[in-house]
Amino acid sequence: MKSYRRTLLVSAVAVGLSFAGYATAADIAKLEETCASCHGKDGASAESDVPIIGGISATYIEFNLADYKTKARPCPEAKIKTGTNKGKKTDMCEVAKTLSDSDIKQLAKYYAGKKFVRAVQTFDPKLAKAGKAVHLGNCEKCHANDGTEVKDDAGVLAGQWTPYLRKTFQEYRAGKRHMEQKMEPVIQGLKNDDFEALLNYYASIK
């Protein structure tokens, strides 16, 4: 039912867009180019410090770009990886600041329509097994199907880059990144070893 309503909504937006004219589409294409210079083609990031954003839900992307806009999420500096600005440094707060609400909606829809290409990473099978148990006991309820479920609007954990997730856990634990209210006690209740196990588990999912 939930996904049926979503489909209707998306097609309504698509019809709206086709009347918006070519300028908007061109603007969005230009913006995507900027995003791709760090996040890779269609959001399939090949860089371990830059999260994969292709195939994540539009709602999650919209909320998080809004959080960067208001700095509710910390903005670590990142080097532009490709293109004419290669090597220049910026951060997601700077990037989000230049986006209008309509840009955000369209970019979110664009990336939500792409495939989440899981990163190929090494992992320790023993830790991954322990991580699965931690996940099932604490996270599966909201990050369903081993953290692969897009419809939960909670990001995608399975196959996301480990260094990015490790840094995210540090931000959450230090209270630096806004957290879903019911996730907070769960995260704060885990031990250091649990996080390492979870990271290996998410890296093990292909």
For residue 104, give the amino acid letter.
Answer: I
3-state DSSP of 89-103: EECHHHHHHCCCHHH
For residue 58, give the amino acid letter.
Answer: A
Counting residues that bind ligand HEC (by CB under 6 A) gives 43
Beta-bridge partner residues of 90: 78
179 to each of 39, 63, 173, 197, how far by Cα in Å? Answer: 23, 12, 10, 21
Pick 19 or 189: Cβ nearer ligand HEC = 189
190 to each of 99, 144, 187, how far by Cα in Å? Answer: 36, 19, 6
DSSP state of 158: T
Binding mask 37-56 for ligand HEC (x = CB under 6 A): xxx---------xxx-x---
Per CB under 6 A, 142 contacts ligand HEC? yes
Per CB under 6 A, 66 contacts ligand HEC? no
**Which residue in the set 80, 93, 117, 144 belongs to the binding site for ligand HEC (CB under 6 A)?**
80
**Which residue in the set 119, 150, 198, 199 belongs to the binding site for ligand HEC (CB under 6 A)?**
198
Per CB under 6 A, 159 contacts ligand HEC? no
DSSP state of 85: T
**Which residue in the set 78, 93, 117, 144 belongs to the binding site for ligand HEC (CB under 6 A)?**
78
Stretch of residues binding ligand HEC (CB under 6 A), selected from 16-24, 113-121, 123-131, 134-142: 134-142
Pick 19 or 117: Cβ nearer ligand HEC = 117
Pick 19 or 100: Cβ nearer ligand HEC = 100
Per-residue tokens: 98: 């230049």
Rounded CA-CA distance 159/120 in Å is 7
Within 83-122, the residues that bind ligand HEC by CB under 6 A are: 90, 92, 95, 107
Decide the pairing of beta strands 78-79 and 89-90: antiparallel
Residue with tokens 């992307």: 61
> What residue ranges bind ligand HEC (CB under 6 A)?
31, 34-35, 37-39, 49-51, 53, 60-61, 63-65, 73, 76, 78, 80, 90, 92, 95, 107, 138-139, 141-143, 154-155, 157, 160, 165, 167-168, 178, 180, 182-183, 186-187, 190, 198
